[in-house]
Amino acid sequence: MSLSEVVLLIEDLDLVAFYGQNDKNLNAVRKAYPDVTITSRGGMMKLNGDKKRVQEVKSKLEMMSKMLRQYGELSKGNIKDILSGENPFITKIKKDSKNVIVHGRNGKPILPRTQNQKKLVESSNENDILFAIGPAGTGKTYTAVALAVRALKLGLVSRIVLTRPAVEAGENLGYLPGDLKDKIDPYLRPLYDALDDMIPPEKLALYMETRVIEVAPLAFMRGRTLDHAFIILDEAQNTTEIQLKMFLTRLGPNAKCIITGDLSQIDLPRRQQSGLIKSLNILKNIEGIGMLQLTSADVVRHRLVKQIIDAYEKHSEVPHVPRKEKNLNEKEDKESTSD
């Protein structure tokens, strides 16, 4: 028997997600390969045993790390597939195909990656207006844009309107260099980025030129009626009460709307209250208006972002979405407690 020792480094991964709570993922591998000694210390693992068996374990662990990097999670089913020799990516694709919102560029499937993102999709399907509130990195804007693109592709709407208030970090558009487009484009860049991910460049350029897709600052919405449209208001925490009321009353027949915001990042002048906070309270009991709270558990950016958000929340009081009857979050809680 040829003995071997292999060192694996996984320092760039969320170690808790990789190893599992109380090392349950690693212990599952140990149980499947009792003849290979697996020791771990931080982001380093050592494998000792028969050369062939060590290579098998190395291959399984690398598959686990690849799965975690691509999807941000490792489920019990993923581990089972990997250890049984099944391809976990094929299994996941088959499972996820039911949840795909839309296929983006090069056929890339765009789908909700967390439970609350799934609820966002469900609530948008059930309501004409949806407030999706949560910290940065929870995918609320990206998911909302995917829903808008899907509605356009299916012919449910004839246009998409994406808007943001151009008030961030205390800057005033009048003092920024360039023409109007140069001034507003930096504020709208996240919306362009999402669209770039979902629509081929030539088609997106045509949609923008013919105003099938319109990306504009909130001030441009005044006096308009938006019918047969899917409208997204992003960064709504930076709207005043008057601005948000103006926006909500732009909706015409066969229009659908998603308002996203992060109540921990309000950039309005100190004496101005966010219109989003008031709207969440006064509109909470209206049928057809949904409200959804995303949390740091939904963060799909770098693993440290979730910890950063949690740390800030411990040292500040951030308003939350008010509970409302038939709220999907509430419904989910009831279902889970009855299981």
- Helices 275-282 and 241-248: angle between axes, nearest 10 degrees: 60
Q: What count of other Cβ atoms lies within 10 Å of the Cβ of residue 142?
A: 23
- Give 6's DSSP letter: E
The rounded distance, in Å, linking the Cα atoms of 195 and 209 is: 14
Q: How far apart are CA 31 and CA 24, in angstroms?
A: 10
Residue 304 near residue 137, CB atoms below 8 Å: no
Question: What is the separation of C-alpha 3 from the centre of its chain, rounded to a whole number of angstroms?
Answer: 46
- 89 membership: H or E segment, kind and range: helix 88-96
Distance (Å, whole) CA 90 – CA 187 = 38
Same domain? For 75 and 111 the reply is no
- Residues contacting residue 31 through CB under 8 Å, at least 6 positions apart: none
Distance CA 129, CA 144 (A): 12
Q: By residue range, what is the domain housing residue 308? A: 102-338
Q: What is the pLDDT along the chain (339 residues), one digit of tens a residue?
A: 688 899 999 877 888 889 998 999 999 999 999 999 999 998 899 999 999 999 999 999 998 988 887 767 788 888 888 888 876 666 665 555 567 888 887 777 888 888 899 999 999 999 999 999 998 888 899 999 999 999 998 888 999 999 988 764 344 555 555 555 565 667 678 888 889 989 988 999 999 999 999 988 888 888 888 999 999 999 999 999 999 999 999 999 999 999 999 998 888 887 788 999 999 999 989 999 999 999 877 776 666 776 777 777 777 655 556 655 444 455 444 444 444
Q: Which of 96, 130, 165 is the C-terminal boundary of a domain?
A: 96
Question: How many domains, in total, are found in the chain?
Answer: 2
pTM of structure = 0.63
Phi, psi of 191 (to 5 degrees): -70, -40
- Examine the domain organization and report whether 113 and 232 are in the same domain: yes
Phi, psi of 291 (to 5 degrees): -135, 130
Is 119 found in the same domain as 228?
A: yes
141 and 113 fall within a common domain: yes
Phi, psi of 37 (to 5 degrees): -85, 125
- Tell me: do 205 and 285 sit in the same domain: yes
Q: Which residues contact 233 (CB under 8 A, 6 or more apart)?
A: 163, 164, 218, 239, 244, 247, 257, 258, 259, 260
Q: Which residues, including other chains, have CB under 8 Å from residue 163's CB and lie 6 or more apart?
A: 215, 216, 217, 218, 220, 221, 231, 232, 233, 234, 247
Question: CA–CA separation, 53 vs 338, rounded Å?
Answer: 44
Give the CATH number of the domain where residue 326 resides: 3.40.50.300
**CA pair distance 313, 264, nearest whole angstrom:** 8
> Do 240 and 256 fall within a single domain?
yes
Phi, psi of 65 (to 5 degrees): -65, -35
